[in-house]
Amino acid sequence: MQGVFRDAAGQRCAGLVTLPMAGLGSRATFVRDQNAAAEQLAVLPTDRTKARRAAALAVEECARQRREPSCGGVLRLTGDVPVGLGMGSSTSDVIAAIRAVAGSYGLSLGPATVARLAVRAELACDPLMLDDRPVLFAQREGRVLEVLGPALPDLVIVGCALGGGAPVDTLSLPVRVHDDHDVRAYERLRTLLRRAVATGDAVLLGEVATASAWRGQQILCHPEFETLAEISRRVGATGVQMAHSGAVAGLIFDPAAPGLEHRVRTCVRALDSNGIPATRIFTTFPTSKELRNGPAHRGVDRPAGPRTSRRPTRLPSL
């Protein structure tokens, strides 16, 4: 879910709720050079400019806490999060960079500090620095507007890529001005999502995600979105989720509903027949040992989080 909401003081605030997916991420190492000036900070690969800014800000913060002069160094990044698709690749790099710099100083920065530095580095960030609880997060301010509950309902997601998987230049997208009617609509979705999390209601959560996705299409305008929504209805998914900015999407399934495997297989075939490539199947709950270690695990990601599934789930390979 993404939109404009009211904060505790009643002020409008852009916010989002992220769908977590385990299995992908960024790793960073930072080697300080105390003989180099602060501006002599190199990053590899060289195009990770947001991560470089984050590292420079983290050096300034850590040096201040250690009461040492700032210095330069070398930041190295590796990772497997696709770039430009709305999967949080830049935030992943930025947070890895901040934590690597802090580690080089022997420090562990708290989530609030990491969020503050991440927003300064990339203007808006995902709440990847927080724990696994679903939160309504002010991505441009780096603060939590509401903790929605202990965990998302159990979900199975069939991920896919719209637009042929081409990256989306989010900075070129038009900025929509939200009025009071929009804010009231998003606050209603917030109330429903809070209820879905509290009751573990995968159907209600799917309805919220779909409603938010439809509103987001006013800016993103993916030509395949109506087809995706129709496939969702046809195969018995609870709804559709869209990247906050980008081309990745997912169809949401309730693992407790009958015929899960058939529904998922039918979904993958329907996506393929409409020229929408399915990417991966993942869950918001730990899968059974057989699923993790057996042949069905191909293309299936284990989720983060401590929850156990309501029953062992078999998913088709992809």
Q: Can you give the CATH number for the domain in which 194 is found?
A: 3.30.70.890
**Contact criterion met (CB below 8 Å) for 30 and 75:** yes
Q: 164 or 134: whose pLDDT is higher?
A: 134
pLDDT, position 311: 40
Strand spans (E) along the chain? 2-6, 12-16, 26-33, 41-44, 72-79, 135-138, 143-147, 156-161, 239-242, 248-253, 278-283, 300-301
What global pTM score does this model have?
A: 0.85
Q: Does 73 fall in a domain?
A: yes
Question: Are both 165 and 293 inside the same structural domain?
Answer: yes
Question: Are both 108 and 169 inside the same structural domain?
Answer: no
Structure tokens at 64: 């201040």
Which structural domain range is residue 29 located in?
A: 21-122
Question: Are both 59 and 174 inside the same structural domain?
Answer: no
220: number of Cβ within 10 Å: 21
Distances (CA, A) of 33 to 5, 57, 65, 106, 187: 44, 16, 18, 15, 49
Question: Are both 97 and 205 inside the same structural domain?
Answer: no
pLDDT tens per residue across span 173-224: 666 677 889 999 999 999 999 999 999 999 999 999 999 999 988 877 788 9
According to DSSP, the residues that pair with 29 across neighbouring strands are: 76
Return the minimum-mean-pLDDT range out of 18-22, 27-31, 117-121, 147-151.
Answer: 18-22
Residue 158, class by beta-carbon neighbours within 10 Å (0-12 exposed, 13-18 middle, 19+ buried)?
buried
Q: Is there a cis peptide before residue 45, judged by omega within 30 degrees of 0?
A: yes
pLDDT band for position 169 (cuts 50, 70, 90): low
115 has a pLDDT exceeding 80: yes
302 has a pLDDT exceeding 60: no
**Contact criterion met (CB below 8 Å) for 286 and 305:** yes
**Considering just the CA atoms, what is the radius of gyration of the chain in Å?**
20
Question: Are both 115 and 213 inside the same structural domain?
Answer: no
d(CA 280, CA 300): 6
